[in-house]
């Protein structure tokens, strides 16, 4: 197969690209490097079936051209991370909705299978646990900036399913639940890279709010496995599917685990949410997926639990270890289009 990954230089996309190349597929990445990086894909450039274009997923002629070359599209390009969403709400909504419009419109003319990345954020403040794909969704007020992200992703879901219903475009919508692994940057506020970096540096671990809020964390390799299994299963078409891990942990417990596993002497510091994100912020008190549908479609069983996730991430961030990827020189600059093409 030849596979287009929008956002392929990002955290999940770069792992997906690697897995596809390793099994013999060809990979075309489109990424604007806003939150992705050349470093994430440095090791992929040695594969003959790999190509990379720097550009925006909202650039329709570019998307059309790349899609002509591919059989399947993973649309992962999006504005992500609570910090980014809070700081740049216009960019978040425009990128997430505009990019998906372009991808689906171009795929529809060519009848390409599109996997649309959505998020567990769409469950919002739901109160029926674990979250199942057919649950009603409970989002907060538009005056609370955070919900713009969930809403933009929900529009993406509606649009994808509308294309399926109206134009028989094969789509699969996946809802990711707190994916973790190497290359996830702590820059956008995600909790595990943040805690691990803080613990290794001997800084306080900043637990937001009471720390009683819960999440479930999924190893990126399990997410990649699920994505590849879903595109191989025709019953996935037209479906919305959770990708996550069924185990739940409070953020306070998580901080304690990170301290214990790093052997750090760092204390925990509780910081009110409004001090981090301003008054206009709401957090979810609980988030855990029902993964029955994914299991039923693909036989999925997450292989890496939280203990092992933390150990792997601590290894990855440990200062004595060499960095996993070297910085990639930008090889070809096309001056008239401001696109770098490899």
* Footprint of ligand UDP (CB under 6 A): 82, 178, 189-191, 194, 206-208, 213, 215, 251, 283
Output the smallest distance, CB 302 to ligand UDP, in A. 17
Output the smallest distance, CB 215 to ligand UDP, in A. 5
Contact 159, 100 (CB under 8 A): yes
Output the smallest distance, CB 81 to ligand UDP, in A. 7
Output the smallest distance, CB 170 to ligand UDP, in A. 29
Tally of CB atoms within 10 A around 328: 18
Q: What are phi and psi of 7, to 5 degrees?
A: 75, 25
* Pairing relationship of beta strands 50-54 and 171-176 according to DSSP bridges: unpaired
Residue closer to ligand UDP, measured from CB, 10 or 189: 189
Distances (CA, A) of 51 to 44, 228, 279: 9, 20, 44
Output the smallest distance, CB 94 to ligand UDP, in A. 20
Residue closer to ligand UDP, measured from CB, 45 or 206: 206
Distances (CA, A) of 40 to 10, 84, 184: 7, 19, 9
Q: How far apart are CA 239 and CA 153, in angstroms?
A: 15
Residue closer to ligand UDP, measured from CB, 106 or 120: 120
Element (H, E) at 243: strand 239-243
Residue closer to ligand UDP, measured from CB, 255 or 294: 255
Q: Nearest CA to 47 among 28, 70, 32, 67?
A: 28
Q: How far apart are CA 142 and CA 122, in angstroms?
A: 14
CA 138 to chain centre: 21
Output the smallest distance, CB 294 to ligand UDP, in A. 19
Q: Nearest CA to 236 among 307, 297, 164?
A: 297
Three-state SS at 247: coil
Q: How far apart are CA 104 and CA 173, in angstroms?
A: 12
Residue closer to ligand UDP, measured from CB, 105 or 273: 273
DSSP 8-class letter at 325: S
Output the smallest distance, CB 123 to ligand UDP, in A. 11
Residue closer to ligand UDP, measured from CB, 130 or 170: 130
Burial of 342 (0-12, 13-18, 19+ CB in 10 A): middle
Residue 149 is a catalytic residue: yes
Residue closer to ligand UDP, measured from CB, 144 or 342: 144
Q: Which residues contact 333 (CB under 8 A, 6 or more apart)?
A: 340
Task: Spot the catalytic one: 123, 149, 188, 300.
Answer: 149
Q: Which residues contact 212 (CB under 8 A, 6 or more apart)?
A: 250, 251, 252, 285
Catalytic site residues?
149
């Amino acid at each position: 197969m030849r596979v287009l990954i929008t956002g392929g230089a990002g955290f999940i996309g770069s792992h997906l690209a690697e897995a596809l190349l390793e099994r013999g597929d060809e990979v075309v990445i489109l990424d604007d490097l806003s939150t992705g990086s050349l470093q994430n894909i440095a090791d992929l450039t040695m594969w003959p079936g790999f190509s990379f274009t720097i550009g925006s997923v909202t650039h329709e002629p570019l998307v059309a051209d790349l899609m002509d070359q591919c059989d399947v599209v993973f649309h992962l390009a999006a504005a992500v991370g609570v910090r980014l969403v809070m700081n740049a709400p216009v960019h978040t909504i425009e990128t997430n909705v505009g990019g998906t419009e372009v991808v689906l419109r171009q795929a529809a003319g060519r009848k390409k299978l599109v996997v649309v990345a959505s998020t567990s954020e769409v469950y919002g403040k739901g109160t029926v646990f674990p979250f199942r794909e057919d649950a009603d969704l409970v989002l907060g007020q538009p005056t609370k900036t955070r919900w713009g992200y969930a809403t933009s992703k929900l529009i993406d879901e509606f649009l994808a399913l509308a294309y399926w219903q109206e134009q028989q475009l094969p789509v699969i919508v996946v809802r990711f639940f707190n994916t973790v692994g190497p290359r996830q940057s702590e820059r956008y506020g995600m909790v595990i890279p943040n805690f691990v970096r803080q613990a290794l540096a001997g800084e306080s671990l900043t637990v937001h709010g009471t720390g009683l809020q819960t999440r479930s964390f999924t190893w990126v390799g399990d997410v990649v496995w699920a994505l590849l299994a879903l595109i191989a299963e025709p019953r996935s078409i037209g479906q919305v599917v959770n990708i996550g891990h069924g185990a739940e942990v409070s953020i306070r417990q998580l901080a304690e685990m990170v301290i214990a596993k790093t052997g750090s002497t760092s204390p925990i510091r509780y910081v009110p949410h409004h001090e981090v994100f301003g008054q206009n912020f709401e957090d979810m008190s609980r988030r855990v997926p029902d993964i029955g549908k994914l299991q039923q479609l693909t036989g999925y069983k997450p292989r890496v639990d939280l203990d092992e996730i933390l150990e792997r991430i601590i290894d990855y961030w440990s200062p004595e270890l060499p960095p996993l990827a070297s910085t990639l020189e930008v090889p070809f600059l096309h001056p008239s289009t401001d696109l770098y093409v490899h």
